[in-house]
Amino acid sequence: MATQPIRTENFAGQQSRKLQRVLGGWDIILFTVSGVIGVDTVAYAAQTGYQIITWTLLSAVFYLLPYGLITAELSATYPKEGGLYFWVRRAYGPYIGSVVSFLYWISNPIWMGSLAVTAVGTLSDAFSWRLSPLAGVLLALAVIWLTTVIEVTYLRIAKWAVNVGAVIKFGLLILLGIGAVAVVLTRGSADPMTFAKFVPNFSTTLILMPVLIFNWVGFELQSNAAEEIQNPRRSIPRSILVSGIVAALGYSLGIFGVLVTTPANRLSAVTGLLGAFQGIFAGRLLIAMLAIAIAIGYVVSGTTWLIGVDRAFATSGWDASIPRFFGHFNTRFGTPDRVAVLSGLVPTALILVNYFTYQGAGLSATYNTMLNSAFVAALFPYLFMLPAALILRRREPSMERPYVVPGGQAGLWAAVILSLAFSFPAVFASFIPSSLTGVSASGAQQLGYYFAGEIIVASLFYAWARRERKETAEALSAAD
């Protein structure tokens, strides 16, 4: 009985010793770019029309900038493996840390399912595949498990998939933007531009606020692997600055490209990005190459996020906020292998359930259901992460802070208030029924059930680890 508490006490140390510092400065910049830029939601956001460009620019200033400043301070002050989980737990305690970590994690396997569906839809459209519903499901599952295999291997190998993918995704958005400008100059816009169309319609934009903010989040992603980064206190704030500029430019050009090349009545959330390229370029070979590049971008987006969120969730097992079983890192690869497999099983189950439930509805119904489910869980954790900077600065004023939000305490308050002003509507707008998002009244109710279920499951995970937390406390007491 005397040895068990000691083993429990050392579990975090046993796992952290498996980590490998393999991410350099450029790796972190490209990792963050890959995390923030998600080409899968460009066409989805464009459904709002030209006003989304205005909102993209406004949110870049009033959300992306303060959110980036807050994340840079937290990352530089607390460069710990698990990033977001560590900050939230330190600010609010183990239960809130556990629930937030679970929601942060579960949103991404769900999103990975939507990415897989989108990748299959894009390739199917480009190569004129006439896929049966079952064939589409099987191909989507193949994409999911390819992502899982990439993630669970050595980070020094997986990072190259992320690096190349970041370049491909940014390149696609730049190419789309330049091509769109050429289209406007030579033959005009598919959807004529007027000043009135750029004026924000608050009721319409509120509906798509979740995707607007979902496009921006990801600055904290690399911090979840902080103990695998060389000189994280310096490289993480720098990566946030560079990726923020790249993301603002890329999204603005990408959304503009979709709008000017695709008539509103032909815009598809699933294949809209490829459709925009088809409105600019001719030639089957070129379109096929672009479709492959887009599909790679989808897979890399999922890989990047899972590399980050799986680490945040797994490290919550190090101090028994969830069962230690899920906190295991592979001895050979230094990756959270058990959580990675779980991240493959979740979208697999959801896609199969969706297939048997909505078999006749096709890929679009599956995509909308999974993406809207992901929005709710993905954005909720930021309601806790952003104010954590205020709490920790007040509670731990003596901590060394290599980077701080400019403007002192007033500057930090302003950053938190501005970022929350976008985050709250983004979370709760997911429950508003709309034809734009494909959420019906019954679907919104179903999303509410999903969210409540996720909170319950997260609480059960926390309760499941109760004995292990008690053993940890006993071990620490005995050590004193």
Q: Mind listing the pLDDT tens digit for each residue in 67-93?
A: 999 999 999 999 999 999 999 999 999
The residue-averaged pLDDT of 58-62 equals 92
Residue predicted with more confidence, 265 or 407:
407
pLDDT at 61: 92
Residue 128: is its pLDDT beyond 70? yes
The Cα-based distances of 453 to 222, 268, 372, 459 in angstroms read 28, 30, 15, 10
Backbone Cα Rg of the chain = 22
| Domain of 376, in residue numbers | 3-479
For residue 23, give the DSSP letter: B
Average pLDDT on 389-394 reads 96
Residue with more model confidence, 235 or 414: 414
pLDDT band at 3 (very low <50, low <70, confident <90, very high): very low
Percentage of the chain beyond pLDDT 90 is: 44
Helices 133-152, 155-187: inter-axial angle, 10-degree rounding: 130
Greater pLDDT, 265 or 165? 165
pLDDT value, residue 420: 95
Q: What does the pLDDT read at residue 82?
A: 94
Q: What are the pLDDT digits (tens) for 226-251?
A: 999 999 988 899 899 899 999 889 88
Looking at residue 417, its pLDDT comes to 97
User: Who wins on pLDDT, 224 or 117?
Assistant: 224
Look at residue 6 and tell me whether its pLDDT is greater than 80: no
**pLDDT recorded at residue 359:** 57
- Write down how long the chain is: 480
In this predicted model, which residue has the larger pLDDT, 188 or 266?
A: 188
For 296-344, the pLDDT digits (tens) are 988 898 899 999 999 999 999 998 999 999 999 999 999 999 999 999 9
Task: Indicate whether 48 pLDDT > 70.
Answer: yes
Q: What is the pLDDT of residue 1?
A: 35
Distance of alpha carbon 16 from alpha carbon 13, whole angstroms: 5
Which residue from 54, 297, 62, 267 is spatially nearest to 173, judged by alpha carbons? 297
Judging by beta carbons within 10 Å of its beta carbon (0-12, 13-18, 19+), is residue 469 exposed, middle or buried?
Answer: middle
Domain count, the chain: 1
Question: What pLDDT was estimated at residue 448?
Answer: 84
User: CB under 8 Å to 238, separation ≥6 — which residues?
Assistant: 25, 28, 29
Are the C-beta atoms of residues 311 and 149 closer than 8 Å to each other? no
Q: Tell me the average pLDDT across 416-431.
A: 90
- Backbone dihedral angles phi then psi of residue 437, each to the nearest 5 degrees: -95, -5
CB 258 within 8 A of CB 276: yes
pLDDT of residue 222: 92
Q: How confident is the model at residue 8 (pLDDT cuts 50, 70, 90)?
A: very low
The CATH number linked to 174 is 1.20.1740.10
The string of DSSP codes covering 149-184 is HHHHS-HHHHHHHHHHHHHHHHHHHHHHHHHHHHHH
Q: Chain-centre distance of CA 110, in angstroms? A: 11
| Averaged pLDDT for residues 366-388 | 80
pLDDT-derived band at 38, boundaries 50, 70, 90? confident
The reported pLDDT for the residue numbered 325 is 94
Does residue 47 surpass a pLDDT of 50? Answer: yes
Q: Which of 176, 325, 199, 164 is nearest to 250 (CA)?
A: 176
- Say yes or no to pLDDT of 137 above 70: yes
Question: 299: part of which helix (H) or strand (E)?
Answer: helix 284-315
Least confident of 3-7, 112-116, 420-424, 433-437: 3-7
Examine the pLDDT at 424 and tell me if it is beyond 50.
Answer: yes
The per-residue pLDDT for 327 is 95
Is the pLDDT score of 364 beyond 70? no
- Evaluate if residue 412 carries a pLDDT over 90: yes
Looking at per-residue pLDDT, the higher value among 478 and 331 belongs to 331
**Confidence at 477, pLDDT banded by 50, 70, 90:** low
7, pLDDT greater than 60? no
Task: Give the Cα-Cα-Cα angle 437, 443, 444 (nearest 5 degrees).
Answer: 80
Of residues 113 and 1, more confidently modeled: 113
Alpha carbon distances (Å) from 290 to 111, 278, 296, 297, 408:
22, 9, 10, 10, 47
- Residue 55's Cα: distance from chain center in Å? 20
Average pLDDT taken over every residue of the chain:
86
Higher pLDDT: 434 or 309? It is 309
Which of 428, 468, 22 is closest to 222 using CA atoms? 22
C-alpha to C-alpha distance for 319 and 101, rounded to whole angstroms: 13
Residues 6+ apart with CB under 8 A from 146: 299
Q: Is the pLDDT of residue 160 over 80?
A: yes
Please tell me the predicted confidence (pLDDT) of residue 269. Answer: 59
pLDDT score for 50: 87
Distance CA 79, CA 225 (A): 9
Q: Give me the mean pLDDT over the 124-140 stretch.
A: 85
The four Cα atoms 368, 374, 376, 379 give a dihedral, to 10 degrees, of -130
